[in-house]
Amino acid sequence: MRDVYASGLTDPDGDIVHRILAGDLAAFELLMRRHNRRLYRLARATLRNDAEAQDALQDAYLKAFRALAQFRGDAALFTWLSRLVLNECLGRMRRESRRQNVVPMLPDCPDDDEMSFDMDPTNSSNDCAPDQSASRAEIRALLERKVDALPVGFRTVFVLRSVEELTIEETAQSLGIPEATVRSRHFRARQMLRESLAEEVERLGPELFEFGGRYCDRIVAAVLARLRQS
């Protein structure tokens, strides 16, 4: 199966669709692996829950498989798939809202006038790897919490534009909104994140650059070793 996947990495989406419709299940695996990351991030940005996003993506894939004959190629395959994922996510949100007897969360958000990351830097020092890995994990968790706090309309635009680096046109097509709305929401999302992170820095000010862990241990051990040698 891996060889089939590797050999089809450069196949156009249209060719993959034809192979799936001809009964080639391996081609559907290729389709999923090609679009998994972007579609998962879209589901995660909408639902704000890892497990729910994974379930929604699986259900959307099943619906895509059954409805693939309806794909006419008028839009990019990712755009078609992203609409299915969004519909699945919004359906789950509506069902959850009805269970909780609250007003359903809408996929939209107010316009500005009305006021809705992978971090894997190269590590150059093995000595500090545990501390740096923990710091990266903490920073990523903080950023994810801040993105989760954005209204859903801003959140989905930010993830597609800033995380997945889709163009304005691609984002607009995927979400079914005007390009001008993509621009305004992306700008506003970045502005809200900057403000939110600035507040976090002020709140955690006394804890910044805390001296501990391996840094502290290494300094203490070095000094003691030199004292013993003197």
Q: Are residues 119 and 225 in the same domain?
A: yes
- Whether the model clears a pTM of 0.85, i.e. scores above it, the answer is no
Do 21 and 56 belong together in one domain?
yes
Q: Are 136 and 225 found together in one domain? A: yes
Residue 157: which domain range? Answer: 114-229
Is 106 inside any structural domain?
no
Instruction: Give 14-31 pLDDT, tens digit per residue.
Output: 999 999 999 999 999 999
The domain spanning residue 164 has which CATH number? 1.10.10.10
* Residues 95 and 130 grouped into a single domain: no
Mark whether 212 and 167 lie in a shared domain: yes
Q: For residues 170 and 25, what is the distance between their CA atoms, to the nearest angstrom?
A: 28
Task: Choose between 211 and 59: higher pLDDT.
Answer: 59
pLDDT in tens, 151-193: 999 999 999 999 899 999 999 999 999 999 999 999 999 999 9
